[in-house]
Amino acid sequence: MSEQTPSTPAGWYPDPQSPGQQRYWDGTAWAAAAPPPPAAVPPAPAPGAIPETSTNAIVGLVLAIVSWFLCPVIAAIAALIVARSSDKEIAASSGRVGGSGLNTATRIIAWINIAVAVLAGIVIAILAILGVGLFAGVAASLDPAINTRTGLADGQYIMSPERRVSLNEECSYGGPVASMEGGLAGDVTVYGVGPVQCPDLVQANAVLFEVRGGTATIVRVD
């Protein structure tokens, strides 16, 4: 191992006593110990310098906004992931990169989008279930076989309809029924078809029908 001479400038050189390591030569003598060279520290931004905005922060905010128009939830989740990556980038930059405010806005917009999408999905599911139930109820009330199940004796009856259903020129009326001879006969539903039996249901105040052989037939709607 060669020894340094006084003409050798100060600096780090191979340690003559510990091969593979370095020791500091101050220009006249070796330092007592051989600590490793100091780790490089990113330069601090100059006072008053404006940090560069993180590209990921901008991309995340754009994705969060786009999620309201295209690919809801998916774009919002992607925006949250990009915002998290941007936070890590900003934390490691020692102040050289900014954009934390954009990441905060990204999270707010993305989470609101996700919440709205979830609520909309729940509402659609509920409406679909109610729609199926409503359609099933309408279909049941428009069953012609209803007229054979009134349970009324043969004769003429009049109804003040409380329930009115119309679909594809078919209709049904339901409500309290009175015999033309007088006296309530119960609450029944009768089925009709065509313009005579199914006029403007909103204006139907009285429905006259008769039962023959156990089958009800609408005669007139007033």
What does the pLDDT look like over 151-176, one tens digit per residue? 899 999 999 898 888 888 888 999 99
Q: What is the pTM of this model?
A: 0.44
The mean pLDDT value for 75-87 works out to 91
Kindly give the residue spans of alpha helices, DSSP state H, lying in the chain.
55-66, 74-91, 100-141, 194-197
Terminal CA-CA length for the chain: 121
Tens digit of pLDDT for each residue in 1-48? 455 566 678 888 887 777 777 888 877 777 766 556 566 666 666 565
pLDDT score at 132? 60
The mean pLDDT value for 38-60 works out to 73
- Between 139 and 79, whose confidence is greater? 79
Range 112-151 burial, b when 16+ CB lie within 10 A, else e: ebbeebeeeeeeeeeeeeeeeeeeeeeeebbeeebbeebe
